[in-house]
Amino acid sequence: MSNNDHHDHAAGRDVPHEGPVKTPKQLVAAVVASFVIPIVAIILLVNYVTTQPKEGAGTAVLDPKAVAARIAPVGTVEVRDAGNPAMLKTGEQVYLAQCAACHTAGAAGAPKLGDAGAWSKRIKEGYDHLLTSALKGKGVMGAQGGGEYSDFEIGRAVVYLSNQSGAKFPEPKAPEAAN
């Protein structure tokens, strides 16, 4: 401020303040921009929102896959002939499907396949004891009886696992077919 401006303020006289708009042309441009820029932004946002492929809730209700999923059976029944050993899984097949997850790596203290030292005490207890442990569960190993595999198939897996670890158990006898 100049000395005169200071005196004008001190004397109580109004001094015009200058703003960023100095000409009528600048004023028109500022007014137009204050309306045009928000309108363009709104148009762009509406365009962005409406061009995205979205499905509303419930629009796929009658889709054939959705209907099939809703009416699918809760469970299935598999009928197997317990007297036909050819239809039943081998000990190795059951081991690979059910037992290998823990007994290959020794997870949760499970004795590893082929570790004669870890299996020797268990093998001395006999096949029936090992089968009971497998069917009813032992420690952190869950019961296998009543599961996906029959007791006979679990028995085959016990023989396979034990024999790979030093036992000489014979293959269990296939169950007789019910007449």
Percentage of the chain exceeding pLDDT 90: 6
Report domain extents, the chain.
20-52, 91-163
- CATH fold of 91-163 reads Cytochrome Bc1 Complex; Chain D, domain 2 (1.10.760)
Assign 39 a pLDDT band (cuts: 50, 70, 90). very high
For the residues of 99-134, what is the DSSP string, one character each? IHHHHTTTGGGPPPTT-HHHHHHHHHT-HHHHHHHH
Check whether 117 has a pLDDT greater than 60.
yes
pTM score of the predicted model: 0.51
pLDDT digits (tens, 9 = 90+) for 94-115: 888 878 788 888 777 888 888 8
